[in-house]
Amino acid sequence: MIATVVGTGLIGGSLALSLKKLGIAEQIIGVESNSENADIAVELGLVEETTTLEKAMERSTLIVLAIPVNAIPMVAVKALNRVTDRQVVIDMGSTKGELCEVISQHPRRSRFVATHPMWGTEYSGPRAAVDDGFSGRTVVICEKERSAPDALQMVEDMYRALEMPIKYMEAEEHDVHAAYVSHISHITSFALALTVLEKELEEDHILDLAGGGFESTVRLAKSSPAMWTPIFMQNKYNVLDVLREHIHQLQVLRRMIEKDDVAGLTKAMQKANEIRRIIH
């Protein structure tokens, strides 16, 4: 089949490479608003050509939206406005509530499948694309009963070929869990980078001493603001809620250190260690 990838950055570019590697798509058309990135995507072979959404849709079976989450709902509506019964539109965004609400009354809603592959790196743009990122990661499909059976089937087949276990959730439910497990990690990492850049004025020391666990904790702070600002804004209430809890936990730990509460601190860390049960 021919697939169109709207947004030829980290996620869209990686999907394009994977679809071609696995022989799922013979040809990938790119739609990319940044002309420099469009050229790079063609140069790197992520896509064969780039064009407009309208022209790309004339020739594509699958249309994939891999753009920042604030741009997805409107492009989703535009794609649904011209989708046929033989075409499927999907998104790969990190929030689902607003998107699913915006398209909920669209007469062609059933041609859309809302998906969130739980993979990414701290890098962005076409040069960040890799052909084996998704394998083994979970993909969440939201509101599956709102998608036509054949559309859902095509998307499930694609993700299974990518070796991704599929979980089904409602859109609101997805956004709550994404806030807890993914979005909060990025905020802590951004805040940690800001803290260290603020406090550690001798930058050489950051580099020299970073062996002590700093690198893995701060890695996500390299992530793209263009991608993450819209995610935090679209998932605002869930993010605010989990962030309140996180600040509270830090304040409790800080108070225990201040009061020399060794027993309390040990107990809290032992509780935190329970994450071992879940993340091996």
Query: Are the CB atoms for 167 and 193 separated by under 8 Å?
Result: no
Q: What would the x/- binding string for a copy of itself be over residues 133 to 172, using CB under 8 A?
A: ----xx-x------------------------x-x-----
Please report how close the Cβ of residue 168 comes to a copy of itself at its closest, in angstroms. Answer: 11
Residue 73's φ and ψ, nearest 5 degrees, are: -55, -45
Query: Are the CB atoms for 15 and 64 separated by under 8 Å?
Result: yes
Q: What is 51-71 written as a DSSP string?
A: --HHHHHHH-SEEEE-S-TTT
Please report how close the Cβ of residue 126 comes to a copy of itself at its closest, in angstroms. Answer: 18
Question: Is the Cβ of residue 1 or residue 206 nearer to a copy of itself in the bound state?
Answer: 206
Return the residue of 43, 54, 150, 200 that touches a copy of itself, per CB under 8 A. Answer: 200
* Residue 100 binds a copy of itself (CB under 8 A): no
Please report how close the Cβ of residue 245 comes to a copy of itself at its closest, in angstroms. Answer: 5
Question: Is the Cβ of residue 60 or residue 238 nearer to a copy of itself in the bound state?
Answer: 238
- Please count the other Cβ atoms lying within 10 Å of the Cβ belonging to residue 41: 29
Say how many residues touch a copy of itself, by CB under 8 A.
94
Question: Is the Cβ of residue 145 or residue 208 nearer to a copy of itself in the bound state?
Answer: 208
Among residues 51, 101, 93, the alpha carbon closest in space to that of 72 is found at: 93
Binding piece for a copy of itself, criterion CB under 8 A, among 73-81, 85-93, 96-104, 175-183? 175-183
Question: Is the Cβ of residue 102 or residue 191 nearer to a copy of itself in the bound state?
Answer: 191
* Residue 74 binds a copy of itself (CB under 8 A): no
Separation between Cα atoms, residue 233 and residue 239, nearest integer Å: 9
Please give the sequence-ordered ranges of beta strands (E in DSSP) within 118-170, or none if there are none: 139-142, 166-169
Binding piece for a copy of itself, criterion CB under 8 A, among 35-43, 58-66, 102-110, 174-182? 174-182
- Please count the other Cβ atoms lying within 10 Å of the Cβ belonging to residue 220: 20
**Residues in region 101-130 near a copy of itself by CB under 8 A:** 117-120, 122
Separation between Cα atoms, residue 128 and residue 120, nearest integer Å: 10
The residue whose two tokens read 């929030």 is 95
